[in-house]
Amino acid sequence: METPALKDGAADRCSNPDCRVAQDGRCIEGFGNKAECPQFGKLQIVQMKDVADSSLASMHGVAMPASTTLTVEEADNVIKKREARVIAITGPFDAGKTSLIAGLYDLFNLGPVGSVAFGQSYSLQAFEEAAHDSRATSRRESPETNRTPRGEVRFYHFELFDSSTGASPSVLLGDRAGEEYLETRSNTDLAKGFPELPRADVLTILIDGQRMLDAGQRHNVRSEARQTIQAFVEADVVRDTQCLAVVLTKLDAVRKSEDSGSQAMHDFAILVEKLRSTFGMRFTAIESFAVAAQPKSDGAKQGEGLEKLLAYWMMEPRRYQPTQVTVESTQTDRYFALLPIPQVGGIK
């Protein structure tokens, strides 16, 4: 796996964690010209051996290969040890969940996203794989992707710095197969086995812009979204300390469709209002966003809308505090039963 090189305009950084070139301009390898250094201008891959004092390295009994996605247990260790934002990215298959994660990673490769700069990641290889897959998929006509496997949530990890607030949290993005979220509509108890939901500071639900263009599907898309949130509420896995982000994806396609684009936008706005009136008391805030994480046309810029969504994700949360209890991640029902009552504090 190649280390991802930064593109033009990227921040001055070196993938060698010992190199201070960004601070004092001196290359630790002694290269006179930064362009000659094979490490310069690459994102930093965090190896477990390099982070002796890190939250993950100091975990007991968990061996994690470097740069992959995190399990629930590993994510909990990050949450316990440092300031974190947990984002559950939900929505049906093909709504654009993996593309959203990959699109954000692509933006960080170009430099800060608004006031938010990339620090490091425990999941760099996983981001790189998602981005590669997402770019390859976006070049194909058929929506065939490397499907997110069923039965597990995977957390992508960033450490970010927000210069507007001074916060430097870990951000954990939970990704799971979309079919599983849809299945909660007929069996709400399934949602109790989704550990990313009670942990989430921002529950993010994606609304597939492409499907919203289809008059035959539009109604289904809206009712799926409402029923999915309803299932989460009935399963008691949402907290009133959480924020909800309702995200219309594939904005480029929506804008390009002259006939149905404005109808799709209009219906999306109605959906958001409906969610506010039905679930407003259940969440700290409900906000809507429109994004083009991986546009296939010139209807939107690459990554359009992600800066605003990221700013929402970065808000200081009310916190879920994981317990010290360690249980097998397969015992999700039992694990859920062990979750403590969330602590209150932070935004309202």
When asked if residue 178 is in the footprint of ligand GDP (CB under 6 A), the reply is yes
| Contact flag: residue 98 with Mg ion (CB under 5 A) | yes
87 touches ligand GDP by CB under 6 A: no
Q: How far is the CB of 119 from ligand GDP (least distance, A)?
A: 25
Give the number of residues in contact with ligand GDP, rule: CB under 6 A. 24
Strand, coil or helix: what is 14?
Answer: strand
Please name which of 10, 75, 20 lies closest in space to residue 43, comparing C-alpha atoms. 10
Indicate the residue whose CB is closest to Mg ion. 98
Q: Which residue, 184, 176, 183, 181, is CA-closest to 150? A: 176
d(CA 240, CA 201): 10
d(CA 225, CA 275) in angstroms, rounded, equals 9
Give me the sheet containing 285-290, strands edge to edge.
116-120, 154-162, 170-175, 84-90, 202-207, 243-248, 285-290
Residue 251 C-beta: closest distance to ligand GDP, Å: 6
Residue whose structure tokens are 């529950």: 203
Residue nearest to ligand GDP (CB): 99
CB proximity list for 286: less than 8 A, separation 6 or greater: 243, 244, 246, 272, 275, 276, 279, 280
Of the listed pieces 29-37, 143-151, 223-231, 315-323, which binds ligand GDP according to CB under 6 A?
A: 143-151
Under rule CB under 6 A, residue 69 binds ligand GDP? no
Query: Which of 14, 75, 292, 306 touches ligand GDP (CB under 6 A)?
Result: 292
Q: Determine if 294 is a binding residue for Mg ion (CB under 5 A).
A: no
User: E strands, the chain, where?
Assistant: 84-90, 116-120, 154-162, 170-175, 202-207, 243-248, 285-290
CB of 204 to ligand GDP, least distance (A): 11
Token reading at 270: 């109605």
Residue from the set 109, 123, 125, 137 that interacts with ligand GDP by CB under 6 A: 137
Does the protein bind ligand GDP through residue 260 (CB under 6 A)? no
How many residues interact with Mg ion (rule CB under 5 A)? 3
98 counts as binding ligand GDP under rule CB under 6 A: yes
Of 131, 120, 128, which Cα lies nearest the Cα of 160? 120
Is 293 exposed, middle or buried, given 0-12, 13-18 or 19+ CB atoms closer than 10 A? buried
In angstroms, give the least distance from the CB of 182 to Mg ion.
Answer: 13
Residues 8-47 that bind ligand GDP (CB under 6 A): none
Please tell me whether residue 250 binds ligand GDP under the rule CB under 6 A: yes
207 sits near ligand GDP (criterion: CB under 6 A):
no
Q: Please, what is the minimum distance in Å from the beta carbon of residue 89 to ligand GDP?
A: 8
Instruction: Between 241 and 249, name the residue whose CB sits nearer to ligand GDP.
Output: 249
Is 317 a binding residue for ligand GDP by CB under 6 A? The answer is no
Element holding 216 (H helix, E strand):
helix 215-234
How many Å apart are CA 33 and CA 148, to the nearest integer?
42
- Tell the smallest beta-carbon distance from residue 105 to ligand GDP (Å): 12
If one asks whether residue 212 binds ligand GDP (CB under 6 A), the answer comes out as: no
148 lies in the binding site for Mg ion (CB under 5 A):
yes
Return the number of other C-beta atoms located less than 10 Å from residue 259's C-beta: 9
Provide the minimum distance between the beta carbon of 149 and ligand GDP in the complex, in angstroms, as a whole number: 12
Nearest C-alpha neighbor of 238 from the set 177, 283, 193:
283
Check binding of 253 to ligand GDP (CB under 6 A): yes
User: Residue 169: which of ligand GDP, Mg ion, none does it interact with, CB under 5 to 8 A by kind?
Assistant: none
Site residues (vs ligand GDP, CB under 6 A)? 91, 93-99, 134, 137-138, 143, 145, 148, 178, 249-250, 252-253, 292-296
